[in-house]
Copies of this chain bind each other. A is one copy, B any other.
Amino acid sequence: MTEIDFWFSIGSTYSYLTVMRLDEVAAREGITFNWRPFNVREMMIAQDNIPFAKKPAKAAYMWRDIGRRLGKYGLTAQLPAPYPLEDLALANQVALVGMAEGWGKAYVIEAYRRWFQQGQMAGSEPNLSQSIAAVGQDPARVLARAEADDTVEALAEATQDAAAAGLFGVPSFVVAGELFWGDDRLDDAIAWARAGRLA
């Protein structure tokens, strides 16, 4: 079975729908997802791709659309969640440290849970320290590593890799060079991994 790269940034609203169900999907479908955090904000600003700021009709729809789809996936949330994040970069620098140390996915899920279910903005306190502690790590140690130059550089490199893969937003899935954008394309990505075409 081909693996699927799951590109995301903590800070993306629609990614809540993916992050909170992806482990269950992976187990049910027998597919491995490689969780790859990067800085989607930096990418989208560079691409002049600003989907919601100063677009009230589209922003209102986004929250309603997410709200309607929660039930489809058995999820809950208090909407709208605080948005946009004040420190998207730091939220994802922590994720990158976690991916290298083996607790990254659990942190991402916890950060989203606190953001969307408890109204704690991801990437800011208390979400940062509480999410790190919740996955068994020391917040002071992790935050120092997350803010170190090599982690900042690693997130920039991940963002360049995402751009090279053709990304322009998240969540995105890349399988065998094919890009699928949006939580609503997860089924397409899985079909492509299986058969090289859509179901």
Chain A residues at the B interface, C-beta cutoff of 8 Å: 47-49, 54-55, 57-58, 60-61, 64-65, 68-69, 71-72, 163, 166-169, 178-181, 184-185, 188, 192, 197-199
Contact = CB atoms under 8 A, between A and B. Distances in A.
Closest 5 CB pairs of A and B: A57-B168, A58-B168, A72-B198, A184-B184, A68-B198
Nearest to A73: B198
A75 B149 CA distance: 51
A61 B170 CA distance: 13
Given A64-B179, A65-B181, A188-B68, A57 B198 contact: no
A73 to B, nearest CB: 10
Given A48-B54, A55-B48, A55-B49, A61 B166 contact: yes
A166 B198 contact: no
A199 B73 CA distance: 10
Contact of A197 (B61, B68, B199): B68
Q: Which of A163, A198, A199 has the most CB of B within 10 A?
A: A198
A75 to B, nearest CB: 12
A179 B181 CA distance: 21
